[in-house]
Amino acid sequence: MNASAPTVSAARTARLVGDLATSRPTYRALADALRLAVADGRIPAGTRLPSERDLTGPLGVSRTTVTRAYDVLRETGYLTSRRGSGSVATLPAGTLRRGTGGLFPADVADGVIDLTCAATRAPAGVVEAYERAVARLPAYLCGAGYLTHGVPDLREAIAQRYRDRGLPTSADDVLVTSGAVAGLGVVVRALLRPGDRVVVEDPSYPNTVDALRAAGARLRPLVVDPDGWDVEEAERTLTAAAGRAAVLIPDFHNPTGALMPDEQRARLAHRLRTTGTTPVVDESIVEVDLDGGAAVLPFAAHAPEAVSIGSSSKSHWGGLRTGWVRAPRGALRSLVEARVSGDLGAPVLEQLVLAELMQRSPGLTAERRTDLVASRTALAEALAAELPDVRFRVPRGGLSLWCELPVGLSSTALTAAAEDEGLLVAAGPRFAVEGGLDRWLRLPHPLPPATMTEAVRRLARAAERVRSGRAAPGPARVARPGRPLVA
C-alpha cells in the first residue's frame, strides 16, 4: 500500500455525501454523491477512499450498498482499485483536468470587464511616495545597487510590521524580493529537490501550484472547504504525506477568502513539526482585512520553523513588484544563496517607495478598504438579484467571492460564454491542484461598484445562454496556453 497517498477519512466522506434519503436506490444516491465530490475536487483525484467496511458505520448503510456504489464509480471512471493500493478517486478520460492559461489583462479590449485579476489599481499617494523616494535615491547611487538582501529601511519596516502583528522579527530575518511569486521561487529553490512531496492546498493560487510542479514536486492536495480548513482532515493529510514542505495561505486564502483561526494554526503547526514538514506560508493577502475582527497571529508565531512570504501587491500596489521572505532564525543565508541564482536583488527605487508608503500606512489605507467593501457589497447584491441560485459566503477579507454554481452549470462553459458577453473571469478548475472544481467560480471585486454590477449582469446573460444550450460548449474554447492568470 502506498502509505503517502492522500486519503480521505470515513467521517469526512460521510459529511461530504450528506443525507442519502432519496427515491433512488441508496447505492445510486451514494455513487452520485461521491462522483460529485470527486468531480468538484472536494475529494481530489488521486485520493484513496475509505475501505468499503470503514464507510458502512459513518454512512449507516450496508456493506453491499457501498460495494455497489464503488462498482458504479469504477464503471464510470471515477474510481480505480488496485491490490495493495485500495480504491483511489480518478477523473474519467475527457473530464476537465486542471485548467491552464487564464486570461492576460494586457489583452483586454475596450469595454471588456476583466475579473481574472484579484488586484486593484494604485491607491492615492503613490506618485508622492515616488517623489520622496527619488529624493532619497542619491544616498544609494555611490554603491553598485545590488542589494541582495534588500534596502535596510524597508527590511526594518517589514520586520516592524511582523512585530506589530505579534511576531518578534529582526530586519536580519527579512529578504526583499520582486513580489511574493518571486519569493516563492526563492523558497522553492532553497528547499525543494525534484521528487520531493509537497502538500498544497486545494483549491489554491494557480501560480503557486505551477511553480511547485515546475520544480518537480509531487503534490499532495490538502482540501480547503469553502468555509475553511477541516483541521482533522488536514492533520491526516499532513501525516500521510510526510512532505518536505506544505504551502499554506491561511490569511484570506485565495480563492476561498477563508481565515484560519489561531487554534487551527496551532494544531497544524504541531502536526507540521511532528511530521518534519516545513511550513511555507503565503501571507500576500493578510492586509486585506476588510471587516476587521479579532486579531489572528501570523502562522510563524505558532511555527517558528515556518518560512513566510509577503507582498505589497495587495496592501499597496502590484506595480511596485516588491515582496519579501521572512526566514526562520538563522536561515536567511540559505535563502540569499538560492536567490542569487535567479536574480541579484529587487529595484532600489521601488523598495524606497514601499518604505515610504509603509511609513504612512503599513497595510491597506482606510480609503482603499472602504472602496473594496463597497465593491464587494455591489457584487454580492448583484449576484443575489441576478443569479439567486449561485451560493457564496462573504469572507471577512480578501479580494474575491468563491461562488458555488448550481448543479449542471459548468464554470468552464460559463466563463467561455461570459467572454462573448465581454466579461473575463477564471473558471474553478484553474484553482484545482489536479482537476475538478468545475462547479466553482472565483469572482474578484477589485473594480468600482457599478462595474461589478455590470459584470454580474453579463455573467447572468452568459448563464442564461449556457442553460438554454445557446452557448458553445466551454472546454473546447477555454485552454489558452501562454496567457497566465496573474493574481
Ligand X SMILES: Cc1ncc(COP(=O)(O)O)c(C=O)c1O
Q: Does 398 bind ligand X (CB under 6 A)?
A: no
CB of 275 to ligand X, least distance (A): 23
CB of 178 to ligand X, least distance (A): 8
CB of 322 to ligand X, least distance (A): 8
SS3 state at 86 = strand
How far is Cα 26 from Cα 21, in angstroms, rounded to an integer? 8
Contact 484, 104 (CB under 8 A): yes
Of 79, 181, 238, 462, the residue at the interface with ligand X (CB under 6 A) is: 181
Of 6, 41, 50, 179, the residue at the interface with ligand X (CB under 6 A) is: 179
How far is Cα 227 from Cα 238, in angstroms, rounded to an integer? 20
Contact 105, 486 (CB under 8 A): yes
- x/- site string to ligand X, residues 283 to 322, per CB under 6 A? -xx-------------------------x-x----x----
Stretch that binds ligand X, among 25-33, 161-169, 178-186, 327-335 (CB under 6 A): 178-186
Stretch that binds ligand X, among 19-27, 66-74, 82-90, 179-187 (CB under 6 A): 179-187
The strand order across the sheet containing 174-177 reads 174-177, 323-326, 307-311, 278-282, 245-248, 197-202, 218-225, 228-229
Nearest to 308, CA basis, from 198, 166, 174: 174
Which H helix or E strand runs over 308? strand 307-311
Interacting positions 205-224 with ligand X (CB under 6 A): 205
Q: Counting beta carbons within 10 angstroms of the beta carbon of residue 275, is it exposed (0 to 12), middle (13 to 18) or buried (19 or more)?
A: middle
How far is Cα 325 from Cα 459, in angstroms, rounded to an integer? 38
Of 180, 190, 281, 414, the residue at the interface with ligand X (CB under 6 A) is: 180
How far is Cα 125 from Cα 476, in angstroms, rounded to an integer? 45
SS3 state at 228 = strand
CB of 336 to ligand X, least distance (A): 19
CB of 132 to ligand X, least distance (A): 22
SS3 state at 457 = helix
Q: Kindly tell me which of 88 and 286 has the beta carbon lying closer to ligand X.
A: 286
- x/- site string to ligand X, residues 59 to 98, per CB under 6 A? ----------------------------------------
Residue listed under C-alpha cell 467521517:
11
Interacting positions 187-206 with ligand X (CB under 6 A): 205
Stretch that binds ligand X, among 233-241, 279-287, 297-305, 408-416 (CB under 6 A): 279-287
Q: Does 434 bind ligand X (CB under 6 A)?
A: no
Cis preceding-peptide flag for 152 (omega within 30 of 0): no
Q: Kindly tell me which of 65 and 311 has the beta carbon lying closer to ligand X.
A: 311
Total residue count of the chain as it appears in this document: 487
How far is Cα 31 from Cα 360, in angstroms, rounded to an integer? 57
Of 235, 282, 287, 356, the residue at the interface with ligand X (CB under 6 A) is: 282
Cis preceding-peptide flag for 448 (omega within 30 of 0): no
CB of 20 to ligand X, least distance (A): 37
Of 228, 279, 323, 422, the residue at the interface with ligand X (CB under 6 A) is: 323
Cα 277–203–230 angle (5° rounding)? Answer: 65
**How many residues sit in the footprint of ligand X (CB under 6 A)?**
15
CB of 251 to ligand X, least distance (A): 9
Q: Does 235 bind ligand X (CB under 6 A)?
A: no
Interacting positions 110-149 with ligand X (CB under 6 A): 118
CB of 323 to ligand X, least distance (A): 4
CB of 362 to ligand X, least distance (A): 16
How far is Cα 294 from Cα 74, in angstroms, rounded to an integer? 47
Of 39, 249, 346, 426, the residue at the interface with ligand X (CB under 6 A) is: 249
Q: Kindly tell me which of 169 and 322 has the beta carbon lying closer to ligand X.
A: 322
> What does residue 256 show for φ and ψ, rounded to 5 degrees?
-80, -25
- Strands in 243-283 per DSSP E: 245-248, 278-282
Q: Which residues of the shown chain bind ligand X in the complex (CB under 6 A)?
A: 118, 179-181, 205, 249, 254, 282, 284-285, 311, 313, 318, 323, 487
